[in-house]
Amino acid sequence: MHHFSPRVEWMGLVFDIPTIIMMVVTSLIVLLVAVLMSRKLTAGVPGGGQNALEWVVDFVTGISNNFMEPKKAAKFVTLGLTLFLYIFLGNQLGLVLNVNTAHTEVSEDFFKMLTVSGTPEQVEEKAHQVHEELANAGHGEHHGVVVAWWKSPTATASVTFTLALMVLLYAHYLGIKKSPGGWFKGTFLNPIHILEDFVIKPLTLPLRLFGNIFAGEVLLAFLLSVGVFGSVPLFVWLGYSVFVGSIQAYIFVTLTMVYISQKVNDDH
């Protein structure tokens, strides 16, 4: 069974509507969680929300301090905290809820949204898939065109690549701000550093996150489709996926601090 996403094209760019929705939802949840945990801050006995917030802040501070001196690391705790909450909560959204809609017929406008893609060949292939799903609707396990509206934003490569690009550009900005000459020498005068900064880091940082979350959601969708026989493996995989999502948030923030430290530490 194919899962489709309605898309729109604007100025040559393709925008995936469910992904945009989930990015906004994740941002709002992060904002709500932060407000709820910090609304009753006190220097006395803290409540549960403040305890949780302090634990997360201490956790991110500890990661930063591993790679930079505390005074310097304190400048990047807010960035690390935001990344950790966004990625951790975003990773879990595809686990807690699964919202799909099945369509046995679609309007012409919606059909075009389902087939928007990068090349004419890809558009033709998607159009063929949509026609096939519509023709097979009601036969066996075919429910028509299934549109996936709710998923982890980090299960989309464009989101993880954007997060990684933001981090890497910020790290380079900090390096240039600290010492333009030192940044140029450390970045361009060594072929290994060129390969690392412009190929390895931009690929491995986002692909690690995307691959783990996307694969987890694919397996969850498969287990949901097999009915009662997949119930036990489903619960096991749900627990494991929560763990994987947490670890991936930790890894992303850790690597962010590593890359920043490489540009701002005095010995680099």
Over its length of 268 residues, how does the chain's per-residue pLDDT go in tens digits?
567 788 888 887 888 999 999 999 999 999 999 888 888 777 777 777 888 888 999 999 999 999 999 999 999 999 999 999 999 999 998 887 777 778 788 888 888 888 888 788 888 888 888 888 778 776 666 667 788 888 899 999 999 999 999 999 999 999 999 999 989 988 888 889 899 999 999 999 999 999 988 888 777 777 766 665 556 777 777 778 888 889 999 999 999 999 999 999 876 5
Would you say 153 and 26 are in contact if contact means Cβ atoms under 8 Å apart? Answer: yes
3-class DSSP state for residue 56?
Answer: helix
C-alpha 82/C-alpha 79 separation (Å) is 5
* Residues 248 and 209 sit within 8 Å (Cβ to Cβ): yes
Instruction: Report the DSSP pairing between strands 13-16 and 100-103.
Output: unpaired
Q: Under 8 Å CB-to-CB from 222, ≥6 apart: which residues?
A: 230
Which residue in 37, 100, 34, 96 sits closest to 245, CA to CA? Answer: 96
- Residue 103 tokens read as 């369509």
